[in-house]
A and B are shown apart, each in its own frame.
Chain A
Amino acid sequence: MSRIVVTGIGIITALGDTAEENRSALQQGKTGIGRARFFESRYTKTLPLAEINISTEALAEKLHIDPLAATRTDLLALHSARQAIADAQWSNETLQSSKTALIGASTVGGMCLTDEMYADANATSSNGSGYLQSYSNSANTSFLQQQFNVKGIVNTFNTACSSSANAIMYGARLIRNGMADRAIVGGVDSLSKYTVNGFNALMILSDQLCRPFDVERKGLNLGEGAAFLILEKEEGALEKNKYAVVAGYGNSNDAFHPSSTSAEGEGPYLSMKRALDSARLQPGNIDFINAHGTATENNDETESVAMQRLFETVPEFASTKSYTGHTLGAAGAVEAVYSILSLQHQEVYPSLHFEKEIETTKLTPVVSYNKRDLSHIMSNSFGFGGNCTSLIFSKV
């Protein structure tokens, strides 16, 4: 079977609206987390957030979309998916082939319009709302389907914070099983009152810049973003620029608690192990891990435990959530793009704001930018509901 390669990438986060801008911030160790300017919530004054530096209206105008016909989530998805498709230099014919799949992922979907949804959900009579078809988790994928007129398999995942990692895995499997020849895969989430209040109620939001894997970490910062990858069979993409190989993937459920991971990190251990098995690699082959690393008390410790169980010597690792915040359903795809950029440029990006290791596990993430030889990178995404997914990208 031909390998599955990444032939296009598109991304928008608080670090910028192109892969180059994102890479540049990562190289310089410049975080995108700060004060939100556009997002409206009483928490914007107290909680750092990783907001994308453009208003919804301006983004709509830039993309030539009627702002009343699309949510911020739809627009972020469109921005990055268009970029990825252009990057892969697909013709319209390729895009609209019945063998082209589109797999999206989102946890918030159109609920970024919290107030509008509240009004519509409680309206007693027709109120002329333009957003009635926009609120669901899948609305942004349907929006992309219409924009691109995709004729193949279309799907949306919501496995909380591992959603877009599962979208990438599903797209690769569709190709491997002959159900698609190529796929647009990724995910998106916008800042929303819904998630800010939800995570705040769980008391896992930090009022300071998040510090993944630090003993003094106080919780996560929420972010927003979208990223899409173009997956194709290597044999059909011989002439093309190929960023990386999708070498392996593993999915598990921690089966412990709806919103926290087991002390022994069983789910994370299994997803990483299964990813290695599917890539036919040994733990020693992994050169770098883009950790889930949310900077919550629970995640960083249990992820560390799981890494220590699987790897005799834990590879170099870092959490780019210290730059982008936690972009939830987009995180798996955003971090896949960062892993791919690392492979392409043979460089690793540092984790920010780390000072002192966690006492029980004593692991230190990479804290400075450096160039190095990288063949295989693992990217972890773990979510509520126990959903864990790990992906492995390899040098072409």
Chain B
Amino acid sequence: MYIHRHTCISPQPTETSFLEAVTPSAEGKLRAIEPVLEGVPPSMLRRMSKAVRMGIGAGLPLLKEENIDGIIVGTANGGMEDCINFLNQIIDYEEGLLTPASFVQSTPNAIAGQLSLITKNRAYNATHVHNGLAFENALIDASMLIKENAGKSYLVGGVDEISSYNYNIDRLAGWYDTQKSNADLYMAETNATIAGEGAAMFVVKDDAREAVAKLEAVEIFHTTHKDEVESRFRSFLSNEVADVNHTIFISGENGDRRFLPFYATCEYAIGSSIPVVRYKHLTGEYPTSSSFAVWLACRALANQALPDKLYKNEHNLTRIDQVVIYNLYQGRQHSFMLLKK
């Protein structure tokens, strides 16, 4: 499967400049830059949650440029803010007469649904919500569609928002810390991380011509055992990566000390000479943040370089042929991805 075009909405400016300065987090959160939505009726815009706005903001420009044969979105929560707004109304008004707008907007499939509605796209349409693997499943779905239907183009992406309520639940569960910041995210030797949000969308085809990158492999699994991650990563490398020269390793390290051994194991397994790139200080943690990692991999392959400050250590890489991504979400959900030039 080849990636042809991409857009990214994140806490950092990504389209106008390329990660030149890092926007600082505030109170343990990195909020995405509000997208500019052109061609969306104001009445529709007013009702959209930020997840929907980000999804439309990232997806619409790609959908407008060519005929797309399917829209596939990975989002753990969709419009969670609307969801909890409606939940609060239920409790606060003791199940009184409520307005349905928040209810309708709260369904996670509102992003893919609105994208199809605005562009009158009646093709395949799916929303994957499997938390930290929602985006990876969207990629798997798209890669199967490409095999099933020759010559077609698909829009695939990952979107999640910080909602104040969902943030609260994840904070109580020990995943987020309001005191942490992205300035020293990787230095803190404590549990929990900072929250983030964003949307990254891709147009994928089976056509190599003028492609930005090739998505070679995606592997997903659940475990809490480091040994299992190591053995699966080693077999992923031996099956998929014939030659590790000119490779970078994008790590989902997020400053939560509980996950460090998993990342360290994979860094060791791929080899200490492979430069490690980290991105959670740019995006914060969210279930579909690996969509940002894929976007970053596309930029790395296209530009043949990434800003030095993204590298964990000094490196002397002058050429990037392939990118291996490892991400771990909330201690159980793992994904490996391989992208090539």
Contact = CB atoms under 8 A, between A and B. Distances in A.
Same complex origin of A and B? yes
A68 interface: no
Interface stretch (A24-32, A145-153, A232-240): A145-153
A368 interface: no
Contacts of B165: 121-122
Contacts of B130: 138, 141, 154-156
B144 A173 contact: yes
Do most interface residues of chain A lie in helix, strand or loop, or is the interface mixed? mixed
Contacts of A285: none
B100 A201 contact: yes
A179 B140 contact: yes
Interface in B111-152: 112-114, 116-117, 119-131, 133-134, 137, 140-141, 144, 147-148
A298 B330 CA distance: 42
Nearest to A118: B91
A185 B318 CA distance: 46
Interface of B: 71, 76-78, 83-84, 86-91, 94-95, 97-100, 103-105, 107-110, 112-114, 116-117, 119-131, 133-134, 137, 140-141, 144, 147-148, 165-166, 168-170, 172-173, 220-222, 330, 332
B239 to A, nearest CB: 12
B125 A194 contact: no
A244 B41 CA distance: 47
B221 A385 contact: no
B107 A114 contact: no
- Residue picked from A196, A254, A266, most chain B C-beta under 10 Å: A254
Contacts of B88: 118, 121-122
Contacts of B221: 98, 151-152, 154
Interface in A129-159: 129, 132-133, 135-138, 141-142, 145-146, 150-159
B87 A117 contact: yes
Contact of B172 (A120, A152, A159, A201): A120
A252 B113 CA distance: 11
A245 B71 CA distance: 28
Contacts, number: 195
Nearest to A123: B172
Contacts of A170: 126, 141
Given A157-B126, A252-B123, A385 B107 contact: yes
A133 B100 CA distance: 27
Interface in A274-316: none
Contacts of B166: 121
Contacts of A127: 172
Interface stretch (A256-264, A337-345, A369-377): A256-264
Interface of A: 41-43, 98, 107, 111, 114-115, 117-118, 120-123, 126-127, 129, 132-133, 135-138, 141-142, 145-146, 150-160, 166, 170, 173-174, 177, 179, 193-194, 196-198, 200-202, 251-259, 266-267, 270, 383-387
Contacts of A257: 117
A121 B169 contact: yes
B125 A138 contact: no
B169 A251 contact: no
Contacts of B110: 258, 385
Nearest to A278: B148
B80 to A, nearest CB: 9
A155 B109 contact: no
A251 B116 CA distance: 13
17 contacts: A114-B91, A121-B84, A121-B166, A123-B168, A136-B129, A138-B131, A145-B222, A159-B126, A160-B109, A170-B141, A194-B86, A197-B90, A201-B100, A202-B103, A255-B122, A258-B113, A258-B114
Given A202-B103, A387-B109, 13 more contacts: A98-B221, A120-B172, A123-B172, A129-B172, A153-B140, A155-B140, A156-B128, A174-B144, A177-B148, A197-B90, A201-B100, A386-B117, A386-B125
B169 A132 contact: yes
Given A122-B165, A259-B104, A384-B109, A253 B125 contact: yes
